[in-house]
């Protein structure tokens, strides 16, 4: 049986590479008795794959039982899975067979397996390793020949670290992993699924079929669909029932998307002077402004520290000031590097020629008058200026050299001591030509 036949038989819609790969693995593992762990977000359709494995395997004539582990109360789940003896607990008025006994020779699908209590996980591990179990309230060991397929939407590796899931059980279940991709990674399937659901609901409710306008299609394709296929199906059904106009616009689709589609996009305020700029130019603009803010801060601190009356106070915290400014530069440069932007030459930046903030900055007259147009506007002429250079650049160089000397030239340790990243330290060493 080929993939297309499998899709038709089990109602799987889509042709994305990741989805096809998941189907191929299910088909390959079906003839074996290996345990399979299916992972994927809620609503991606994990429940279809255990059926594929069961129906294409040697156990297809045996029982197939799907169990939602999260829907069974913790106090009764052992009884549900393994059975119990009469009188073993309050309410146990008769003997009961569990799913592992009833499904002997068949397949058990444990959905949301991460929800199993720790004690139940230990019992399940014994079944997987030794093909045996004991009923609740009994000391008699029973044998069972059951294939186990588990599924979860939880990161089991993280659950193991948090002590919520047994590591040995994870490796026993994860003999063959199958990952079902989320809908946002199957964009080529979204419109196909929408049309399928729209046709189904058209037949069900005897209404004309829905059609999407181009802008509405774009919204559906770019939405994240946290609930995946289940959410898309629900939204399609809502629109089918409520909307009278069968030609669906962008505005109509947005009304049915929770957390407003527009709230998921960055807000960009239009500036007539830059309305033709693309996204990369806008990033240049924002980071360029931040660079200028850092430059202004450096000059302001440098001017203040030249005043003797406040210099002695600031000298006690000058190290922290320099570190804070370096860290701000580090954040901006790291973001620029991650975005493949360069600040090597601002004059070549298209923003630098048009952005009004730069013009204002370049036209400012810094005459080094302390606190000009602020609370204090007097000049200090007779004060003794501290001999030691208090420029931020000199302080940065001095601090970097001291850190490198302290750690015998080991840049990683020096960067940790300076509380900056190694990338920033390398850039500073090259910028200031520190040997």
pLDDT in tens, 375-398: 444 443 443 444 444 466 777 788
Instruction: Provide mean pLDDT across the span 416-424.
Output: 82
* Nearest CA among 187, 153, 226, 225 for reference residue 17: 187
Tell me the angle at which helices 308-315 and 279-305 cross, rounded to the nearest 10 degrees.
110
Segment 309-360, tens digit of pLDDT = 444 444 444 555 666 666 666 666 666 655 555 544 444 444 444 444 444 4
pTM given for the model: 0.60
Name which of 79, 65, 73 is nearest 135 in CA terms: 79
Question: What is the pLDDT at residue 366?
Answer: 41
The answer to whether the beta carbons of residues 176 and 29 sit under 8 Å apart is yes
Structural element, H or E, at residue 382? none
**Stretch(es) of the chain classified as CATH 1.10.8.60:** 184-264
CA angle 154, 160, 163 (to 5 degrees): 115
Could you report the per-residue pLDDT of 84-128, keeping only the tens digit for each? 999 888 888 899 999 999 999 999 999 999 999 999 999 999 999
Average pLDDT over residues 257-276: 52
Q: Tokens representing 4?
A: 């297309």
Instruction: List CB contacts of 296: < 8 A, sequence separation 6 or more.
Output: 361
The correct answer on CATH 3.90.480.20 for the domain covering 184-264 is no
SS3 122: helix
pLDDT for 304: 59
As a whole number of angstroms, the distance between CA 25 and CA 49 comes to 10
The confidence score (pLDDT) of residue 276 equals 52
- What integer pLDDT is reported at residue 16 of this predicted model? 94
Q: Write out the residue limits of the CATH 3.40.50.300 domain(s) in the chain.
A: 3-181
Spell out the alpha helix ranges (H) of 223-278. Answer: 228-242, 250-255
Check pLDDT > 80 for residue 367. no
Using CB atoms within 10 A of its CB, is residue 384 exposed (0-12), middle (13-18) or buried (19+)?
exposed
Backbone phi, psi, residue 176, to 5°: -125, 110
Write the pLDDT tens digit of every residue in 185-235: 999 999 999 999 999 999 999 999 999 999 999 999 999 999 999 999 999
What's residue 285's pLDDT? 65
Where residue 303 falls among pLDDT bands split at 50, 70, 90?
low
Helix/strand/coil for 386: coil
Residue of 10, 18, 13, 4 whose CA lies nearest to 54: 10
Contacts of 334 (CB under 8 A, 6+ apart): 421, 423, 424
Q: Quick one: tokens of 250?
A: 């962008």
**Under CATH, domain 3-181 is a member of which superfamily?**
P-loop containing nucleotide triphosphate hydrolases (3.40.50.300)
Q: Percent helix, strand, coil in the chain (nearest 5)?
A: 55, 10, 40
Give the per-residue pLDDT at 237: 96
Distance from C-alpha of 307 to C-alpha of 381, rounded to nearest angstrom: 10
Q: How deeply is 140 buried, as exposed, middle or buried, from its count of CB atoms within 10 A (0-12, 13-18, 19+)? A: exposed
Phi-psi region for residue 43, left (φ > 0), alpha (ψ -120 to 50) or beta?
left
Q: What is the arithmetic mean of pLDDT over 231-259? A: 93
Q: What value does the mean pLDDT take over residues 47-58?
A: 96
Angle at 84 between CA 127 and CA 166, to 5 degrees: 35
Rounded Cα distance, 414 and 39, in Å: 43
Q: Average per-residue pLDDT in the chain?
A: 80
CA 177 to chain CA mean position, Å:
21
């Amino acid at each position: 049986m080929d993939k297309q036949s499998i899709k038709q038989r089990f109602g799987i819609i889509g042709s994305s590479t990741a989805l096809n790969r998941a189907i191929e693995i299910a088909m390959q593992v079906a003839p074996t008795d290996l345990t399979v762990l299916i992972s994927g977000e809620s609503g991606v359709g994990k429940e279809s794959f255990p059926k594929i494995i069961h129906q294409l395997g040697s156990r297809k004539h045996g029982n197939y039982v799907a169990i939602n582990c999260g829907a069974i109360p913790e106090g009764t789940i052992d009884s549900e899975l393994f059975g119990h003896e009469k009188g073993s607990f309050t309410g146990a008025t008769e003997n009961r067979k569990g799913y592992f006994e009833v499904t002997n020779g068949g397949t058990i699908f444990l959905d949301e397996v991460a929800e199993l209590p720790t004690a139940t996980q230990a019992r399940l591990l014994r079944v997987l390793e030794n093909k045996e179990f004991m009923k609740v309230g009994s000391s008699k060991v029973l044998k069972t020949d059951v294939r186990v397929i588990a599924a979860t939407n939880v990161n089991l590796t993280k659950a193991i670290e948090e002590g919520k899931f047994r590591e040995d059980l994870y490796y026993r279940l994860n003999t063959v992993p199958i990952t079902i991709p989320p809908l946002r990674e199957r964009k080529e399937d979204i419109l196909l699924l929408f049309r399928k659901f729209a046709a189904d609901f058209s037949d069900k409710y005897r209404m004309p079929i829905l059609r999407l306008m181009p802008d509405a299609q774009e919204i559906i394709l770019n939405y994240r669909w946290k609930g995946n296929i289940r959410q898309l199906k629900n939204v399609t059904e809502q629109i089918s029932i409520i909307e009278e106009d069968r030609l669906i616009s962008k505005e109509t689709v947005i009304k049915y998307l929770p957390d407003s589609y527009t709230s998921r996009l960055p807000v960009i305020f239009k500036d007539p002077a830059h309305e033709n700029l693309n996204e990369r130019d806008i990033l240049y603009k924002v980071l360029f402004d931040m660079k200028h803010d850092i430059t202004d801060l450096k000059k302001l601190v440098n001017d203040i520290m030249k005043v003797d009356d406040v210099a002695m106070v600031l000298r006690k915290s000058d190290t922290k000031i320099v570190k804070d400014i370096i860290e701000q530069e580090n954040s901006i440069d790291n973001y620029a590097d991650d975005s493949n932007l360069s600040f090597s030459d601002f004059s070549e930046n298209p923003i630098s020629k048009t952005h009004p903030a730069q013009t204002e900055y370049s036209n400012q007259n810094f005459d080094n008058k302390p606190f000009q147009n602020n609370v204090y506007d007097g000049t200090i002429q007779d004060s003794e200026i501290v001999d030691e250079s208090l420029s931020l650049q000199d302080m940065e160089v001095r601090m970097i050299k001291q850190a490198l000397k302290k750690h015998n030239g080991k840049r990683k340790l020096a960067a940790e001591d300076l509380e900056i990243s190694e990338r920033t330290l390398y850039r500073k060493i090259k910028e200031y030509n520190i040997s």
